[in-house]
Amino acid sequence: MTTALGNNQGVEVNFDGLIGPTHNYGGLSHGNVASKTNALKIAYPKLAALQGLQKMQFMRGLGLEQGILLPQQRPHLPTLRALGFNGSDEQIIKQVSNAAPELLAQCYSASSMWSANAATVCPSADASDSKVHFTAANLSSMCHRSIEHSSTSRLLKKVFDGEHFSHHDALPSGAHFADEGAANHNRFTAAYDQAGLQLFVYGRYSFRANPQRSQRFPSRQSFEASQSIARLHKLDLGAHVFAQQNPEIIDAGAFHNDVVSVSNLSTFFTHEQAFVDQAELKTELQTKFRAIRPDTELDIIEVPTSAVSLSDAVSSYLFNSQLVQLPGQEKMTLVLPTESRDNRSVAAYLNELADTSRSIGNIEFVDVRQSMQNGGGPACLRLRVALNEEELAAVNPQFMLTNSRLKELNAWVERHYRDQLIAEDLADPQLARECFTALDELTQLFELGSFYEFQR
Ligand code: SUG
């Protein structure tokens, strides 16, 4: 099999979350500027899902392996039942819309589309037991996202089944071990199937004093969560680093590290204000990387605030891009949201970057505006999984995109999704029926049997 880097060097597969039929603007994420700014606007679920599929198709067209993860059951009636509502599905939706309408949006959010938050993944080359490790993220910081992890775990076990893969349940819920998954995790290596250095980014401590902590917006990832994941994934002590996200940048709206950093292989593209004690962090990364890969140099590209301000970084999602190595190309390609092209200072920076960078040679743009309006750029929509050839062969092929699967999914979206959705629509039991019909058909396409809670 030919992989991204040629033969026998492993491959990184991006697993994008298929955008579900209840995509709407609930204004649910405090600290996520786009989610709050666009709260209660008209959402276009069909367009959103088609944009997501187009991005996947675009990445495949570049010559990359592309995977897909299915949307979760929404409305999530099991959560509403757990909160004391009962009766038929229809009765529950009616009761909630009368008695506690604020709960409807929490249980209808299509937020599992942002699969960068589904889990933290550790490639087998870094784990002492040589397995690929997955820990579903508890997403404890946001109510609507905290209900994702058990379905996420179930799905990941369907996609990655067998001896090569080790699955861990989400960390204990609550603020102390709040975990947001791969959005706060980077890895540096020379080849995907070779040992690398992992960078875990946290926002605060739970059990120690916090000399620096965000004031305006919540810091969603705790140090103790990052530390637990490194333990669970059986990482070598010398092969991982913990770094604190700059509280100032969280307060500017960078609620995950992937809003201000992206990595691929031995390249790290980051804002100069992304981390606390950034100079020390860079030295630590260089030293530890050299110890693991003496033959490869770590290229840290730091974007200065004078070129791209914090607010431009957050509004353009410059760093929420996919940095990828295309087959046969010497330099990497940066795939950005169109919002980066539309931002004058970011566009000027990108023009220079492609000409001057040692590692990044190509710039591409994708339109994922429906997701962007909820704070989810190209990088949020994908979970990266680095695999060697044997592991790639063990992935459930249903979840690897092919032309025919893409065609099927586009037609499925066209058949089932509404063009528009507003908050009032969530109170209509008919919407729930439509969603369950669509999801039921999806499980048939993927030969999943009874997968969703409403099917059991
Ligand atoms: O968790 N937005 C998501 C966006 C996640 C982006 N992911 C990464 N950066 N990796 C969040 O804040 C908004 C939902 C709403 O308001 O309707 C939302 O959940």
Separation CA 18–CA 69 (nearest Å): 6
Q: Tell whether the model's pLDDT for residue 284 goes beyond 80.
A: yes
- Residue 8's pLDDT band (cuts 50, 70, 90): low
Give the pLDDT mean for 304-329. 97
pLDDT in tens, 350-364: 999 989 999 999 999
Ranges of H-type helices in 73-148: 77-82, 89-99, 102-108, 143-146
What fold is seen in the domain 11-74+109-455? L-arginine/glycine Amidinotransferase; Chain A (3.75.10)
Query: What are the DSSP calls for 382-424, one per residue?
Result: EEEEEE-HHHHHHB-GGGB--HHHHHHHHHHHHHH--S-B-GG
Query: Residues 380, 391, 416, 435: which is the catalytic one?
Result: 380
Q: What is the pTM of this model?
A: 0.97
- Residue 256 catalytic? yes
Between helix 403-416 and helix 429-445 the angle, nearest 10°, is: 160
CA 418, distance to chain mean position in Å, is 25
Separation CA 172–CA 9 (nearest Å): 36
Separation CA 106–CA 145 (nearest Å): 8
pLDDT in tens, 299-312: 999 999 999 999 99
Q: Tell whether the model's pLDDT for residue 237 goes beyond 90.
A: no
Ligand 1 center from residue 194 Cα (angstroms): 32
pLDDT at residue 391, rounded to an integer? 98
Ligand 1 site residues (CB inside 6 A) read 25-29, 32, 35, 109, 111, 114, 116-117, 142, 145, 183, 255-256, 258-259, 374-376, 380
Atom number, ligand 1, closest to the C-alpha of residue 36:
16
Atom number, ligand 1, closest to the C-alpha of residue 375:
4
pLDDT at residue 132, rounded to an integer? 98
pLDDT in tens, 372-420: 999 999 999 999 999 999 999 999 999 999 999 999 999 999 999 999 9
- Residue 180 catalytic? yes
Query: Residues 12, 65, 148, 180: which is the catalytic one?
Result: 180
Give the pLDDT mean for 426-447. 98
Question: Hey, whose CA ends up nearest to atom 14 of ligand 1?
Answer: 28
Which value, to the nearest 10 degrees, does the dihedral of the CA atoms of residues 336, 276, 205, 143 take? Answer: -30
* Residue 121 near residue 187 (C-beta atoms within 8 A): no
The helix or strand, by DSSP H or E, that contains position 38, with its residue range, turns out to be none
Query: Residues 256, 271, 339, 416: which is the catalytic one?
Result: 256
Ligand 1 center from residue 41 Cα (angstroms): 15
The helix or strand, by DSSP H or E, that contains position 53, with its residue range, turns out to be helix 45-61
Question: Hey, whose CA ends up nearest to atom 12 of ligand 1?
Answer: 29
- Residue 176 catalytic? no
Ligand 1 center from residue 369 Cα (angstroms): 13
Residue count of the chain, please give it: 456
